[in-house]
Amino acid sequence: MDKNKNFFIIERIKYEYSSDTYSIHDNTMYDLTTAVRKLLALDTLNENKKTSYHLQEVSFSVVQEPLILTKDMEVKNSEQGELPL
């Protein structure tokens, strides 16, 4: 397994009358060992049956390089307009 892989801990909250919500716990990436350790601790301490935690591998493969803006992508001040007060 790749040693450089990172993981998010995803918190899922189930709702009875609306869509489930998902968020990244603590907004932090972890290596596999730390992520599993924290996941087990969260599962052990969690008393709310509607909340669950899952691991998700962090993948930046979609973004290979930064987007470079070209001259024709610029927004001119006259096109932007003024914001109403």
Domain boundaries, the chain: 32-62
Q: What is the pLDDT of residue 45?
A: 95
pLDDT(75) > 70: no
Phi, psi of 63 (to 5 degrees): -100, 100
Q: What is the pLDDT of residue 42?
A: 96
pLDDT(66) > 70: no
pTM: 0.65
DSSP 5: -
CB under 8 Å to 42, separation ≥6 — which residues?
9, 25, 53
pLDDT(64) > 80: no
User: What percent of the chain lies above the pLDDT cut of 90?
Assistant: 61
Kindly state the average pLDDT of the residues 38-49: 95
